[in-house]
Structures are given as structure tokens and as C-alpha cells.
Structure 1
Amino acid sequence: MEKNKRIEAVRKEAEGYFQRGEFFCSEAVVHTINEFLGRPFQEDVVKLASAFPIGLGKSGCLCGAVSGGSMALGMAYGRKHGEAMNEKMFPVSAALHDHIKEIYKSTCCRVLVKGYEFTSPERKAHCVQITGEVAAWIAEKLLEDPDVSEKIEAAQA
């Protein structure tokens, strides 16, 4: 499948999980990227992302999609005990943060949803869009990395 179509498919998958109420933002990103990578982690890895929605457990701080996105990047660039830190981990995670901040002017949940009634369909649509943007951005970066894209191709073959 063409790169742009794959990225859009990831975007729509993450958005769909959130829109349908199957997952919140962070969970949708983690689940979608785990699937995209060929399930390197068991399905219940999404449980690790369950504390992040609505800005870290409803505190309104860091956007849950960004938190989940950083976790998802760890699926590709993270380490196990005793391993050296992957040199790509910090720059790519910081770049995700900067990408979302550039588009939405913040990565703080309460700022991102300011002006929306929390239970409104407009607020949910806004958050669904951010979730999709995070997942799509991650998919694009992973496909651009030859080391990771090889694994994606093998997993999806």
C-alpha cells in the first residue's frame, strides 16, 4: 500500500476507536500503533495507556493523545533493562510534542479544549482529530525510518 494511504489508514483507525467510544485518546494511539507494528506487544499493552486520557487522569495536563503517542514511540525505540537508550527515542518524542504544539498551539489538554463544553460533540470531534493526527504523525515517522519500516513490512506481509 502506498505510504500516504497507510498513514491515512492509521489516522482513521485511531480516530475510529475514539469516536466509537472503544478507547480514549491515549489508548487509541497505543492500540493502533501496536497493530501497525504487527503487534510486537500483547493486546493488553493498551492498559498502560489508560491513565493518560483527559490530560493525565482528568487533571487537564499533557494531552492524552500525546502521552499515548510517546508510549507508542517507545514500542519502536524503547529499551529493556540493561540496554542503552536508543539515540532516536528522545528526539522523536520531542518532535511529536513540537508537531502537536505547532498545529494546536499547546499540548496541554485544558488549553486544547478551552472554549468547548466537555460533553459536546464538538469537543469530542476536536480530540478525535488530535488523536488521529498523533497516530498519523507516528506512522509517518516510523515508515520514514528504514530500521523500523523493514519490521513493519515484514509484520504486514
Structure 2
Amino acid sequence: MTLINTMDFTKEEVLDKVQTDAENLFKSGTYFCSEAVLQTINELLGMPYGADVVKLASGFPIGMGKSGCLCGAVSGGQMALGIVYGRVEGDPMQDKMFDISKNLHDYIKDEYNSTCCRVITKQWQGDNFKSPERKQHCFTITGKVARWVANELIEDGKIQVK
């Protein structure tokens, strides 16, 4: 995602761009799911962390290092939320961090009946991410998570739009 002045765009335009950019970072092979979400939101926020912050998300794709556990896009979304609501040593924990993190979890669980990668992608088990259908499914989830995070940040006034 190229840095943009969000005030030049409507909410829907920003959300569409975030979703498309996250999907494209994954589709292009630049990043996997968790990395694409974190990078897209970091850029949307004006890069409060350098581009190398994406390294933090590199162990989470395909359900935490291909273990099939928590969906990597959800992991990336949680890290992206931490950019805004997280804390550093000595700061109190913001209640909002827990609330919004739970809401992201619940959003994906409601959409896919699970947050577990192997459950969300069970129809492609053994596929090892080879089929175009499996890839598209994961690209879509990645875009949806990035869009959801961006929407929450807009709704909370953390990102201003036209």
C-alpha cells in the first residue's frame, strides 16, 4: 500500500484500498497473510513503525508456522491493532485492546465458524497451498481482516477520512 492522505478519500474508498492492497501483497508473493495485514495497516497509519516491523509477523502464516493453528491473517490483524492500542513498559493496558482484539476474533469466528487455519481451509487439507482455490480463499480472508481492522480504526477516530 502506498502511503495515502486518508482525508482525500471516503471511508469506503479507504477500506476498498486496504482490502485490495493486503490481498495484492499476498497474491504477489511479497508477503504471506499475517505479514500483508500488518504491513498494510502500518502503511495506512503513516508508518509509525519502519517497514521491518513486518518481520514480527513472519512466523504466523498458515496457522503459526504452517502448524494450522490460529489463522495468520488474524494474527497479523492482532499485531496491527497493537500498533494503535498496544502499550510499552510502564503504560497501563488499554481496555480497548482486549475488547477490539476479541471483536476481531469473533468476527472471523462468525464468518468462518473458526479462527483455526486448518478448520477454515479444511476442504484443501493435504493441498499444501497448491490449489488456486485455496490461495484465493486465503487472499480473501487476508483482505477481509485488513479491511475490518481499518474500519475499526476509522470508526474509533484513529484514522480520519473525507
* TM-score under structure 1 length normalisation: 0.93
1:149 aligns with 2:121: no
Counterpart of 1:120 (choices 114, 125, 131) is 131
CA RMSD of aligned residues (A): 0.9
CA distance in 2, matches of 1:113, 1:149: 32
CA distance in 2, matches of 1:115, 1:100: 17
- AA partner of residue 86 (structure 1): Q
Superimposed CA distance per residue, residues 90-124 of structure 1 (whole angstroms, 9 cap, x where no aligned partner): 00010001001111111100011111233111100
- AA partner of residue 100 (structure 1): I
CA distance in 2, matches of 1:126, 1:45: 25
1:131 aligns with 2:142: yes
Shift >3 Å, 4+ stretches? none
CA distance in 1, matches of 2:11, 2:61: 29
Q: Between Structure 1 and Structure 2, how many residues are aligned? A: 150
Give 5+ residue unaligned stretches, structure 1.
none
1:24, distance to aligned residue in structure 2 (A): 0.1
1:20 aligns with 2:28: yes
- AA partner of residue 144 (structure 2): E
CA distance in 2, matches of 1:76, 1:66: 16
1:149, distance to aligned residue in structure 2 (A): 2.3
CA distance in 1, matches of 2:35, 2:119: 21
CA distance in 1, matches of 2:140, 2:159: 25
- AA partner of residue 102 (structure 1): D
1:49 aligns with 2:57: yes
Superimposed CA distance per residue, residues 58-90 of structure 1 (whole angstroms, 9 cap, x where no aligned partner): 110000000010000000100010000012100
In the other structure, the counterpart of 1:5 is: 13
- AA partner of residue 128 (structure 1): F
Percent identity between the two aligned chains: 58
Give 5+ residue unaligned stretches, structure 2.
1-8
> 3-state SS of the aligned residue for 1:141?
helix
> 3-state SS of the aligned residue for 1:107?
coil
* TM-score under structure 2 length normalisation: 0.90
1:9, distance to aligned residue in structure 2 (A): 0.5
- AA partner of residue 53 (structure 1): P
